[in-house]
Structure 1
Amino acid sequence: MDGTAIIEQLLTSEGRADPYPLYARAHELGTAVSAGPGTLLALGHGTADKVLRTAGFGVATAEMQAGLAPEFAEHSSLALFGRSILERNAPDHARVRSLIASVFTARRVAALRPAVEAAVAGLLDEMAEAGSDGSAVDFMDAFAFRLPVGVICELLGVPARDRYRFRGLAGDLTVALEFVQDLAELGAADAAADELAGYFTELAAQRLAHPQDDLVTDLARIAAEDAERLSAQELLANLVLLLVAGFETTTNLLGNGLALLFRHPDVMAGLRTGTLAPAGFTDEVLRYDSPVQLTTRIALTDGLAVDDLPAPPGSMVLVMLGAANHDPARHHRPEVFDPSRTGSQPLSFGGGPHYCLGSQLARLEAEVAVPALLDRFPRLTPGGVPTRRDRLVLRGYETLPVTVR
């Protein structure tokens, strides 16, 4: 099996359901391998980290993608992500990211802990009531989605009455971040992009007329006063990105973590007794079953390489985050779930200029939520067969039924 075959297998339903055996086979090929003309795989932990941090490797911008596929511009989901910091390089990326970054400082995130604790307690109360008769409760819908969407919406300034609608819209929109074989499959993603852009157009106008202490107000004011700092299209694209990214990864982190606890009762016991630290558990979930499995980079300059493989300008590098987190050269027995590991430094939040702005917030939410969940429900057990989303890039559960009595 070569690099091309690895990718082909990962794109099958079986490969998406459990990519880790394929990663193990890929590591036998090396830390970096070719996957066909113009495509390289960064598999090793150090290799992936270096690509993410090397300035000559950037993201594929909307202009680049439209040059390869003219129909790209016809899809509002692709165009929306293309106007966000997710798919912009310097200097645009740094210009817009700096406007957003003040919300995610370590001090600001730490100050959110009481609000996160209160939100967790309220959601656990609702789970207890819903499952008081012994019926199953879907953890993904009742908790894993509602906690992070509530937190990010508070930061943005999205009214509580609107939050219920976002899980389905985000699920449709993020198909545009997967490896889409046929752009015609993006109909639902385009519709979601249009609806979310329309929603934030109205909300930004409301905040300009009636300012509040939230991020939508701050960014809308900047866009209205100085389009060179932030254009109207950039405003909408990045508000949608912040909303979706603000809960998508954390929702998957919480779901993946609870599923692992059911498979490892010793770890659940250790968290309950305090012999295992919540931070260590979170790190190991991120490493073992990363909510984000891969990202891509494009070689922008001459003289680049991925390990010893040349990467001429235009080369695509698939940075296999999930594989890097299972690199046997970095992690002893990577196939073993072990929250007592130290120094693993999972690459699940990326690295370099595009390192996830909300990583500290995601960790805070998980480290508050998981101990509180286990403390509130001493007999928490699976309540049915969970279902995974059929995705490769964003890995998580669609449903995860539990019983709480």
Structure 2
Amino acid sequence: MTATRVLVLNSGSSSVKYQLLDMRDSSRLAVGLVERIGEETSRLKHTPLTGGGEPREREEPMADHEQALRAVADELAADGLGLDSPELAAIGHRVVHGGLKFTEPTVIDDAVMKEIERLVPVAPLHNPANITGIRTAQALRPDLPQVAVFDTAFHTTMPESAARYALDVKTADEHRVRRYGFHGTSHAYVSRKTAQLLGRAPEDVNVIVLHLGNGASASAVRGGRCVDTSMGLTPLEGLVMGTRTGDMDPAVIFHLARVGGMSIDEIDILVNKKSGLIGLCGDNDMREIRRRIDAGDEEAALAFEIYIHRLKKYIGAYYAVLGRVDAIAFTAGVGENAAPVREAAVAGLEELGLAVDGALNSVRSDEARLISPEYARVAVAVVPTDEELEIADQTYALVSDRNA
């Protein structure tokens, strides 16, 4: 029997998201989420997608990721999809930061783990949780290939002119300060799917991808390769996000420390968790912001205008970087569902060949689709992202090649 299943794990600091896929047809067999790991009561939501099983929830203390993943293994086994199945080919792990070393999906061994650990200082909120998930999965199935798929990998093709800050070279190199970018699996998947939507090969298409969720990033993709992206050393740089400032004069930090008397930790929390849309208007849910705007709320309207202004700046900048743009693709929670954001983002950019058809833009669908009128020089697309499928595809391709 050829093993064709891949379990995808996305381990956060207090959560684990998972999907089990059959790579023969990319179908999902089960999906789930464990929340509040390490708290008094944890919650596991599990949904089998085969065999007619019903969604299940359980609440119980789960002290750590090992307990959480053992609970996941039990739920999968109850559906006949246990981790001991000979049909399981590999476990694919989302790892946020791979630095410059990891440009492709990588089978995890001791040397790879050491390098992921070495990158903790540049991803202190993410890599430790990813490491914990990997170690737990290794303990559960030590015989199975474990594959790391890195958020940063797709962006390692950026030229030095885009990746380097104008910081003293010695200092930057000593502390690995450069622009790495994130959301790479989404940008890779969406740029490729956009080319398919246009009926062209990825290497023939230039795409601006706008990944707009609570975290948000833009990328300029030339012929299937990233040449620029909005996030930098950390996910703080770039677009206005749900709780992050995005681009800001770095001297604001000095000012808050010297004049405001704030500590580095306080500023860190401020710019990452208490700013962006929630800092501007008290809401980081675009649906609620639009409801408030429709009700005449000026604070929400200004927050929306600031969000769109930054978005337009990046569209224009990446148009200049690429020189020729074949398509702009909106993706992720806001990009896929917020028609007013898409409309506002391209409004006034007709001279760049951009336009949105109101009727097409208002249609809600889970399918990739064009929302630009036929006369538009540049296609505007909505392309639902699928980071889990991208991780599974990369994982399965790697282990299949090794076994060939």
Structure 1-normalised TM-score?
A: 0.24
Instruction: Pick the structure with more helix per residue.
Output: 1
Instruction: Pick the structure with more strand per residue.
Output: 2
> 1 or 2 for the larger relative contact order (CA 8 Å, sep ≥6)?
1
Structure 2-normalised TM-score?
A: 0.24
